Structure 1
Amino acid sequence: MTAKNLSYYASKFTKLRVDRAHGSIAPHKPILLLSVIELIEQGILKHNQIPLSAELVAAFLKLWQQLGSTAHNADIGMPFFHLKSDGFWHFRSNPGFEALLSSGAKVRAVNALRQAVEYAYLDEELFELLQQPTFRNILINTLLNTWFADKTQQVQEVLRINAFAEFEQELLATGGRLYERSVIKDETKTVVRDATFRKVIVSIYDYRCAFCGLRIINSLSQNIVDGSHIMPFSQFYDDRIDNGLSLCKNHHWAFDRGWFSINDDFTLLVKSDLHEDAPNCKPMQQFNGDRIRLPVHAQHYPRLEALRWHRENIFKSA
């Protein structure tokens, strides 16, 4: 049996099965591996669980700008699915999708992969090697020297940049933006855009629900609240911070269905026809007239225009 050591994986990295059909090598797989290694180095990937996350997509897009081929599209879904053919990349299915992933079906679209795959994971031996800076650098250099020999120096500098954090900083600095519909069709970029908005909104509300104040964070820094849009993004393409609210799962659902809204003075307006049985928590109707929790800075408060739209179009029609 072949020993799965550093030499074994270095050899694997030099012999990745890549597409050569367009007259040039498709660099998707080595760029994906560099992206994964970057997140490990930055402490973002602490466990051998690699979801198709916004952080991974952002790292991939950043590296694609430096290393990508003009003959190919920057589609992370392709390598995320096909890297399993190289023998060290595996999938943990979401419940109900086990048969689909074992059937040989090619699930390569980003949204389809996020629905079907809970996370990818590496051979445990490879993941352990990547925890060691010396071995990690050897494998990074193996990828660079094999697939991007003419760009090694510039890439070493780019690898130190946290691309997703840069998206967050830009959103905070600019206050967000309105998009044209044509700009948001790219599934890959949409993953980053959506996650950046939601993460910034939740952070400026101190990870609390603006309605009830609930704040729960686990050891992996996952939290129970959502960064939600007041005016739906699918209709208005509005990712400005003042079109956002931090809401727990229950109150996000209720807000989207018009069970409550918010007045111009930021007090809650709760439907009077709710029939509630809440023995262990405060019923929604008892929050009526309370002021929502607000961000520290006034420029991040919910936009009055957006609140009025919600009252007129969602709350009144519920």
Structure 2
Amino acid sequence: MKAVFDTKPTSIYDDDLSQHYHFPRRYLSIVERCVGDWTVLRRPRADGGNLAYFATARVSYLEPDPTVPGMSYARLSNYLEFDEPVPWRANERYAEEALRNMPQAQVGVYLRGRSVRLISDSDFSELIAAGLKRTFDPQNADKFGLPLGPITEAADAVYEVGSDLQGERVWRIEQALTNRIVRDANFRRIVCDAYDGRCAVTGLRITDENGRNEVQAAHIWAVTDGGPDIVQNGMALSGTLHWLFDRHLISLTDDLRLLIAKDKVPMELRELFVRDGEQIYLPADRKRWPHPAYIARHRAAFLTKNALEALQ
């Protein structure tokens, strides 16, 4: 069964939404029904005062909190941030069937103590369609140089109208949410938008005559090692800098200053980098800056690699 999980930045719970959702015993029987299926994450109050759904993720498994009796973790995978928050109510229509089926005056009372709620496949499909509209736009695939076929197939499943095969359509949408090309499209868009198309190390913003941006989205903690597709695990880098970063020839300090394996990076290239001792170019929104834990993981690999090579 699919569900909505309510969460907020000021929550008293230990939520790390790309990894886990922390919840009390009263929700356990509901969350147990969601294992192996998908959830949509909602903020009770989003920026600007609007209630909104902002991401989706798969519930992989549950485990008790070893430190707090009565609390559990829903371990999450395949976290995917929406392109834009989806309002919980649009054109006088609530996004959740349970809310649509009651008088508006009772909605607020109903939601108290219901931070976890089951939703229908149909409502889930509509939320995904609204939340990932830009990711499934073929023009964005072209903009970022991604294969068009998987994006088009995903869009066909999401925006299919009048199908009697609702179950098959939902399955196709779920397949799209785990498709690496679709996830790359979402990741590149959110990272490149956060950095305004500018390379974090050189500060250069280069586009061609068709508006295609030269900058790429680099994962700080590699996906192949378990890293999430979230903006805090990304940096916008030019192609050459992306290559250097993935091979741990450059990295970052805790305060986001550049580290360089200087004997391996040509001086001609280093002259384009931020000056020694200065921070890299960062998103205007501080909440989208690289996460310290991911930076520390990357830097550990950088230090290990270069220390070992220095001994050889």
- TM-score class, shorter-chain normalisation, is 0.3 to 0.5
Whose strand fraction is larger, Structure 1's or Structure 2's? 2
Q: Give the greater-gyration-radius structure (CA).
A: 1
TM-score by length of 1: 0.45
TM-score by length of 2: 0.45
